[in-house]
Chain A
Amino acid sequence: MDNRRVKKGASVTTRRMIAYIVLILVTFLCLFWFYVLFINATRGHSDLTRGFTLIPGGFALKNWDSLMHSSQPVLLGMRNSLIISICTAVLSTYFSTMTAYAIHAYTFKIRNAMFTFILAVMMIPTQVVALGFIQLMGKMKLMDTYIPLIIPAVAAPATFFYMKQYMESALPMALLEAARIDGSGEFRTFNSIVLPLMKPAIAVQAIFTFVANWNNYFTPALVLTTDNKKTLPILIAQLRSADFLKFDMGQVYMMIAFSIFPVIVVYLILSKHIVGGVAVGAVKG
């Protein structure tokens, strides 16, 4: 039997070798940019105008110091970014799972229409709605608050679609029937049975949502006007449009490095869930 396998496909050792080579190449491609960023964050401004090197400069502490003493409320910015990103990640995954569950588990009149509708609106680019959105927020007196940045996360069509697709392969209806027979309320079933089963999908989408909101410049820049409420990407943009007297690319790179650090931490925490995985589809089998 083993002989047959060797004849039919490439041997496991060869395939393993190829896999490792590709993985190492890919790893290089992925980490190189972080290296460049790190190098640039350790170099002074005029040193940077000179072009690119592979050796770190001696300006790391100075850049860090000028970042901490710049007029930008960097630490507040990080707090604000954290608040918005965590809230959106939680709201988006919880309610998208709920929406997906509604479509997946129940048969009701507007179910198919709703599904098609959500798929259709997924295609609307954010830019299209932005102007109307800002005007509306102005009328609702919600400008310069976090509400327009956090609450809309409840309705995230793309996250919903993923959850729905995932449920199809991982959430057996039989399990829900069993829960009903045991007398569990619908809401409790959702919270105590569906959510845990959806954990890998939730972890994936939580990361995506967190990162997307962490890096989002477009909407926050339109909504937030008070310095102490601004998020990191706006502060980076502000740092970049600083006047020539205070313009310091070393500081900008340090700030970019500083701002991706928490994302990496969050990512590393959540990646455990993805990599570890949860046994799904057990009932289906």
Chain B
Amino acid sequence: MKKKIVSIILTAAMTTSLLAGCGSSAGDTAAPAAAAEEASTAEGAAPAAAAEETATAAEGAAPAAADEGSVLNIQCWNEEFKSRVTDHYPGYEKVNDTTGKIGDVTVNWIITPTDDNAYQNHLDEVLPVNESAAADDRVDIFLVEADYALKYVNADPAVAMSMDDLGIAAGDIADQYQYTKDIVTDANGALRGLSWQACSAGLIYNRDIAKDVLGTEEPAEVQEFVKDWATFNKTAEDLKKAGYFVESTVNDSYRVYSNNVSKPWVDGTTVQIDANIEKWVADSKALVDAKETNTYELWSDDWNKGFYPEGKVFAYFGPAWLINFCMAADTEGSVAYDGRWGLCVGPQSFYWGGTWICGAVGTDNPALVKDIMLTMTTDKAVLREIVEKDSDCVNSPSLLAELAADTTFGSKILGGQNPYQQLADGAEKVDMSNISDYDQGCNESFQTAMKDYFEGKVDYDKAISNFQTSVKEKYPELSF
């Protein structure tokens, strides 16, 4: 444990030099890398080496640094994790856009875009044969999203290392939200991945519309108008009378309903439709028929319209990153630009997004993998930096509590509101124990099939049969 503290202190020292390096040119990634380089010439590979020694000393199981491979291959689908590691992992030196160095170890970033399922196809090719690949070609770390995490977590034989195999104790990761663990816990209860993000979400409402129709713009009071679905739908009627849409599209609320199911999509090999999902259909059909909302796709131009006052959209359901980066905060005339959004919990708690780090079975750098996973997801100094630099909502209840207590902090977009209390409360309540390997496919198929029903193109039974056809195409082994 002593050595661990040493490594944390070293980390802190590195961090300081990193921040110093950042200085005036915050956006320039070359500067911190250069600073890191300067710092590490003195200390060499100290942090990584120290961490590995720690592992040896504490667990006695992990191999010594000398036995580790010289190449660390990381599979990912975009730049997000790369920039987090480049900016925040102590001792990481950027060599060029797709390689870096941690001590003597070369880090390769292998980026495969998600388009056309290319990323998963790529993982499916390399992971099952990882152990038999040449040492330098082996995948050491791969990243997954919640939608398909279980596919890799439940794989048989395993492709993601369990925390036990990595030598990460439950105590090391106690300060993380349970739902972030549920998503990457396999059928036998073994945890096989970690995330630095807690993407709990809430109802983001337009303060001007709230004031106009509900007579208040205070989060606690607005919450009373949307506290459950019945009240939410009642409020929708009032909004409609005043000429507003309660949400941009029925797909906005889908995630909220589907996060709060009481049984998973698939039981054994039988597909089942949860009561809360059926409730989404019934509620949404009523909303669409009453013209209180629309049937747009998320991320479409139609969906975006409510980011501006002319869109007349009362609320979006979303997490911190949606508020900070996607709602056109830097465009004059947008609701976000004027700081006229508010955040409350909404009818039910849910989460949206997040990236999980998995150690690949067959890695030749287990100690380094362990250190990266722990540093990036549990080191509070690193997490705080991530909050400050990247505005991620991080996976640490204690840090979020500190941020929530910070009365000097207020989000400009949210009209000065400090959202961390809501986000922390929400993350606590998210329950992802009812997920299955088939969620991504089932959710997508269901929403697509129901769109035709909402628009009156087909009746409910036909929509359900289209859903079944689509699921059968994706998963031939399932039945209804």
Cα separation A237 to B118 with both chains bound (whole Å): 10
A49 touches B304 (CB 8 A): yes
> Quick one: which of A46, A51, A225, A244 contacts B330, CB cutoff 8 A?
A46
Residues of B contacting A244 in the complex (Cβ-Cβ under 8 angstroms): 321, 325-326
B115 touches A246 (CB 8 A): no
> Quick one: which of A73, A225, A246 contacts B97, CB cutoff 8 A?
A73
A46 touches B328 (CB 8 A): yes
A242 touches B78 (CB 8 A): yes
| B175 CB, min distance to chain A CBs, angstroms | 25
Question: Of the 9-residue stretches B35-43, B106-114, B178-186, which lies at the interface with chain A?
Answer: B106-114
Residue among B308, B325, B330 facing the most chain A CB atoms (10 A cut-off) = B325
A225 touches B80 (CB 8 A): no
Interface status of B122 (Cβ within 8 A of chain A): yes
B79 touches A237 (CB 8 A): no
Whose C-beta in chain B lies nearest to the C-beta of A218?
Answer: B116
A49 touches B331 (CB 8 A): yes
A46 touches B334 (CB 8 A): yes
- B residues 293-327 with Cβ under 8 Å of A? 301, 304-305, 307-308, 321, 325-326
- B residues 73-123 with Cβ under 8 Å of A? 77-80, 82-83, 97-98, 110-116, 118, 121-122
Interface status of A222 (Cβ within 8 A of chain B): yes
Residues of A contacting B68 in the complex (Cβ-Cβ under 8 angstroms): none
| B58 CB, min distance to chain A CBs, angstroms | 34
Known contacts A46-B334, A73-B97, A221-B118: A238-B113 contact under CB 8 Å: yes
Interface status of A279 (Cβ within 8 A of chain B): no
Residues of B contacting A182 in the complex (Cβ-Cβ under 8 angstroms): none
Residues of B contacting A247 in the complex (Cβ-Cβ under 8 angstroms): 325
Residues of A contacting B305 in the complex (Cβ-Cβ under 8 angstroms): 51
A241 touches B113 (CB 8 A): yes
Interface status of A245 (Cβ within 8 A of chain B): yes
Count of B interface residues, CB-CB < 8 Å: 33
B78 touches A238 (CB 8 A): yes
Known contacts A71-B97, A242-B78, A243-B78: A237-B113 contact under CB 8 Å: yes
Cα separation A189 to B301 with both chains bound (whole Å): 59
A245 touches B301 (CB 8 A): no
A245 touches B122 (CB 8 A): no
Residues of A contacting B97 in the complex (Cβ-Cβ under 8 angstroms): 71-73, 227
| A218 CB, min distance to chain B CBs, angstroms | 8
Residues of A contacting B307 in the complex (Cβ-Cβ under 8 angstroms): 49
Interface status of A168 (Cβ within 8 A of chain B): no
> Quick one: which of A50, A237, A238, A245 contacts B80, CB cutoff 8 A?
A245
Residues of A contacting B325 in the complex (Cβ-Cβ under 8 angstroms): 244-245, 247
What 0/1 pattern do residues 203 to 215 of A give for CB contact below 8 A with B? Answer: 0000000000000
Cα separation A243 to B328 with both chains bound (whole Å): 15
Interface status of B208 (Cβ within 8 A of chain A): no
Interface status of B390 (Cβ within 8 A of chain A): yes
| A52 CB, min distance to chain B CBs, angstroms | 8
A50 touches B308 (CB 8 A): yes
Cα separation A44 to B331 with both chains bound (whole Å): 9
Residues of B contacting A246 in the complex (Cβ-Cβ under 8 angstroms): 78-80, 83
What 0/1 pattern do residues 226 to 251 of A give for CB contact below 8 A with B? Answer: 11100000100110111111110000
Cα separation A226 to B109 with both chains bound (whole Å): 9
Interface status of A47 (Cβ within 8 A of chain B): yes
Residues of B contacting A245 in the complex (Cβ-Cβ under 8 angstroms): 80, 83, 321, 325, 390
> Quick one: which of B78, B301, B390 contacts A241, CB cutoff 8 A?
B78
Cα separation A222 to B116 with both chains bound (whole Å): 10
| B255 CB, min distance to chain A CBs, angstroms | 16
B331 touches A50 (CB 8 A): yes
Cα separation A217 to B115 with both chains bound (whole Å): 10
Known contacts A49-B331, A50-B308: A221-B79 contact under CB 8 Å: no
What 0/1 pattern do residues 169 to 213 of B give for CB contact below 8 A with A? Answer: 000000000000000000000000000000000000000000000
> Quick one: which of B83, B98, B304, B390 contacts A227, CB cutoff 8 A?
B98
Whose C-beta in chain A lies nearest to the C-beta of B112?
Answer: A225
- B residues 307-362 with Cβ under 8 Å of A? 307-308, 321, 325-326, 328-331, 334
Residues of B contacting A217 in the complex (Cβ-Cβ under 8 angstroms): 115-116
Cα separation A221 to B116 with both chains bound (whole Å): 9
| B311 CB, min distance to chain A CBs, angstroms | 10
Known contacts A240-B113, A241-B115, A245-B325: A49-B79 contact under CB 8 Å: no
Residues of B contacting A227 in the complex (Cβ-Cβ under 8 angstroms): 97-98, 111
A46 touches B331 (CB 8 A): yes
Cα separation A221 to B122 with both chains bound (whole Å): 10
| A22 CB, min distance to chain B CBs, angstroms | 32
| B336 CB, min distance to chain A CBs, angstroms | 9
| A149 CB, min distance to chain B CBs, angstroms | 16
Residues of B contacting A72 in the complex (Cβ-Cβ under 8 angstroms): 97
Cα separation A241 to B110 with both chains bound (whole Å): 14
Cα separation A282 to B110 with both chains bound (whole Å): 57
What 0/1 pattern do residues 371 to 408 of B give for CB contact below 8 A with A? Answer: 00000000000000000001000000000000000000
Cα separation A237 to B114 with both chains bound (whole Å): 8
25 CB contacts below 8 A, A to B, read A46-B329, A46-B331, A49-B304, A49-B328, A50-B331, A71-B97, A138-B125, A217-B115, A217-B116, A221-B113, A221-B118, A222-B121, A225-B112, A226-B98, A228-B98, A234-B113, A237-B113, A238-B111, A241-B78, A241-B115, A242-B78, A243-B78, A243-B79, A244-B326, A247-B325
**Chain A interface (Cβ within 8 Å of chain B)?**
44, 46-47, 49-52, 71-73, 138, 217-218, 221-222, 225-228, 234, 237-238, 240-247
7 cross-chain pairs, A with B, having the tightest CB-CB distances, nearest first = A46-B331, A243-B80, A46-B328, A237-B115, A238-B113, A241-B113, A237-B113
Q: A50-B328, A241-B78, A243-B78 are in contact. List 11 more A-B contacts (CB 8 A).
A: A50-B334, A52-B301, A71-B79, A217-B116, A221-B118, A222-B118, A225-B110, A238-B111, A240-B115, A241-B77, A244-B326
